Amino acid sequence: MDTLPLVLTVGLLALAGFFAGKHKARLASTQVRSHSRPHYHGYLVALWTLIPALLVVMVWSFASESVITRLVVAELPARIQQMPASEKSLFTNEFKNLANEIDVKKHIPTEAIKSSDSTAVAYQAAQRYIQLTRLSQQLKAAVTLSLAALLIWFTLHRVQPQLKARNSVETIIKGLMIVSASIAILTTVGIVFSVLFEALAFFRHVPPGEFLFGTHWSPQTAIRADQVGGSGSFGAIPLLTGTLLISAIALVVAVPLGLFSAIYLAEYASPGIRTVAKPVMEVLAGIPTVVYGFFAALTVAPFIRETAESFGISASSESALAAGLVMGIMIIPFVSSLSDDVISAVPAILRDGSYALGATKSETIRKVVIPAALPGIVGGVLLAASRAIGETMIVVMAAGLAAKLTLNPLDSVTTITTQIVTLLTGDQAFDSPKTLAAFALGLGLFVVTLTLNILSLHVVRKYREQYE
């Protein structure tokens, strides 16, 4: 039985348990007054069936593949057992792919069996793998369903008028709620550990000093040890300058436009214009970034190149300017909506005071409102900067791949996020320095954006305390 039907069957069993428990409790409560109402007994039976059975399915599904692989590998001929670990894992992948091909596409590569010795071994291993996988699936279904049946029987047995079913159900629900809320912490822990461990593994290959201060980035490492010319160098400085260049262009576009829009919408616009213009500007933040990337790569970049060429300046077709410009458009709403909020929150008394002294509206805004709202605006800009640094699709599609150390916006630069995607989307061995470098970059990205976020939250919060 496949996993999905199995889960559905368990669900149906739990449902049956619910009705059975409810029914039994109702019958029992005709003679004696029951502590809990019948449906709580039903819920108790259902939850006691569902949760353990689903846990078994989950643990089994996650553990089975590695266990089966280990079993199959253990049965391989000694010749393959003695191979170095990397070749062994290659062979493991080979027979797994073969198994997948046979199992899913119902395609038996007959020529493979007759051909070279190692393919024949792989074919046998694949057959064994499929056999064990099927066995595991059957066992999983049998164990889960019998466990579920046993639990239903047991919990139904316990249904009695004096059983405090409601309290038990509420305790279980509270437990579920705490687990759900704690997933946020688990996610952060997961992020930190996954990038940290891989990054530490990377720093065993490449010293942190070289990574942080090296000015040459070319992650092409040799696939075989005897290959020449591909030792790979991992100096992150060009990526950092590229990221900062594109983000700076984006902020140069977004901050004035966003800030002036916020000022206009908060201070000048009539309610009619405001109700239309505000959501329309928010749409800019809702458009998927892949759409911006397409726009940047196919419309803006060629336009910039042609314009520059008509002035006799040479421009790359993957210029930093195109990516930065489009990214700037994307983050306008981040600047404008946060600034709008803080500008609106500036107390009217301050404005009235300024008007009473004879200041014009723009003078009031420039000399009184903006200084008062400045921390909030800075917070918004920091948040927008964090967005720009972490933005991926626009730069993957519109920025280049060559790591150049330049500040020329018409040249092509590469960014941290672009490199993470390029390093991880090819077929790579999982523990090569090239793959691990992506996690080291990810760690840097996470630390930088987290710092910016905390800083911006701190600045905004501190400001709010002054007026509320």
Judged by CB under 8 A, the residue of 249, 383, 459, 460 near other proteins is 383
What is the closest distance, in whole angstroms, from the C-beta atom of residue 24 to other proteins in the complex?
Answer: 22
Q: Choose between 130 and 156: whose C-beta lies nearer to other proteins.
A: 130
Among 180, 270, 310, 466, binds other proteins (CB under 8 A): 180
Residue the block writes with tokens 């909506």: 337
Nearer to other proteins among residue 198 and residue 411 (C-beta): 198
Distance (Å, rounded) from C-alpha 225 to C-alpha 231? 9
By the rule CB under 8 A, 457 interacts with other proteins: yes
Judged by CB under 8 A, which of 42, 238, 293, 324 binds other proteins? Answer: 293
Contact between 198 and other proteins per CB under 8 A: yes
Q: Which residue, 409 or 442, is less far from other proteins as judged by CB?
A: 442
Among 55, 142, 176, 357, binds other proteins (CB under 8 A): 176
Stretch that binds other proteins, among 131-139, 145-153, 207-215, 290-298 (CB under 8 A): 290-298
CA angle (225, 230, 236) in 5-degree steps:
125
Select the residue interacting with other proteins from 386, 412, 414, 432 (CB under 8 A): 386
Residue numbers 39-98 binding other proteins by CB under 8 A = 62, 65-66
Chosen residue from 145, 244, 421, 455 binding other proteins by CB under 8 A:
421
User: Alpha-carbon torsion 139, 140, 145, 146, what sign?
Assistant: positive
Residue 102 found at the interface with other proteins (CB under 8 A): no
258 scored as a contact of other proteins (CB under 8 A): yes
Q: Candidates 26-34, 167-175, 208-216, 372-380: pick the segment binding other proteins (CB under 8 A).
A: 167-175
Q: Which of 85, 288, 311, 348 touches other proteins (CB under 8 A)? A: 288
Which H, E and C letters describe the chain, residue by residue? CCHHHHHHHHHHHHHHHHHHHHHHHHHHCCCCCCCCCHHHHHHHHHHHHHHHHHHHHHHHHHHHHHHHHHHHHHHCCHHHHCCCHHHHHHHHHHHHHHHHHHHHHCCCCHHHHHCCHHHHHHHHHHHHHHHHHHHHHHHHHHHHHHHHHHHHHHHHHHCCCCCCHHHHHHHHHHHHHHHHHHHHHHHHHHHHHHHHHHHHHHHHHCCHHHHHHCCCEECCCCCCCCCCCCCCEECCHHHHHHHHHHHHHHHHHHHHHHHHHHHHHHHHCCHHHHHHHHHHHHHHHHCCHHHHHHHHHHHHHHHHHHHHHHCCCCCCCCCHHHHHHHHHHHHHHHHHHHHHHHHHHCCHHHHHHHHHCCCCHHHHHHHHHHHHHHHHHHHHHHHHHHHHHHCCHHHHHHCCCCCCCCCCCCCCCCCHHHHHHHHHHCCCCCCCHHHHHHHHHHHHHHHHHHHHHHHHHHHHHHHHHHHC
Which residue's CB is nearer to other proteins, number 178 or number 225?
Answer: 178
Q: Determine which residue in the list 271, 286, 310, 465 makes contact with other proteins, applying CB under 8 A.
A: 286
- Options 8, 142, 173, 401; binder of other proteins; rule CB under 8 A: 173
Q: Minimum distance from CB of 355 to other proteins (Å)?
A: 13
When the beta carbons of 76 and 335 are compared against other proteins, the nearer one is: 335
Should residue 360 be labelled a site residue for other proteins when binding is judged by CB under 8 A?
A: yes
| Residues from 390 through 419 that contact other proteins (CB under 8 A) | 390-393, 396-397, 417
Residues 325-354 that bind other proteins (CB under 8 A): 329, 332, 336
The reply on whether position 357 binds other proteins by CB under 8 A is no
- Residues 455 and 449: their CA atoms lie apart, in Å, by 10
Residue with tokens 């090569």: 432
Using the contact rule CB under 8 A, the part of the chain among 283-291, 308-316, 341-349, 368-376 near other proteins is 283-291
Strand pairing category for 233-234 and 217-218: antiparallel
Number of residues that bind other proteins (CB under 8 A): 92
CA distance 251 to 387: 10
Site residues (CB under 8 A) for other proteins, limited to 113-152: none
Subset of residues 430 to 449 that bind other proteins, contact rule: CB under 8 A: 430, 438-439, 442, 445-446, 449
* Closest distance to other proteins from the beta carbon of 145 (Å): 20
Whose tokens are 């119902």? That residue is 106
Closest CB to other proteins among 196 and 410?
A: 196
- Judged by CB under 8 A, which stretch of 109-117, 149-157, 306-314, 358-366 contacts other proteins? 358-366
Contact predicate 25/42, CB 8 Å: yes
Choices 216-224, 239-247, 274-282, 400-408; region in contact with other proteins by CB under 8 A: 274-282
Q: Is 281 in the site for other proteins (CB under 8 A)?
A: yes
* 287 lines the binding site for other proteins (CB under 8 A): yes
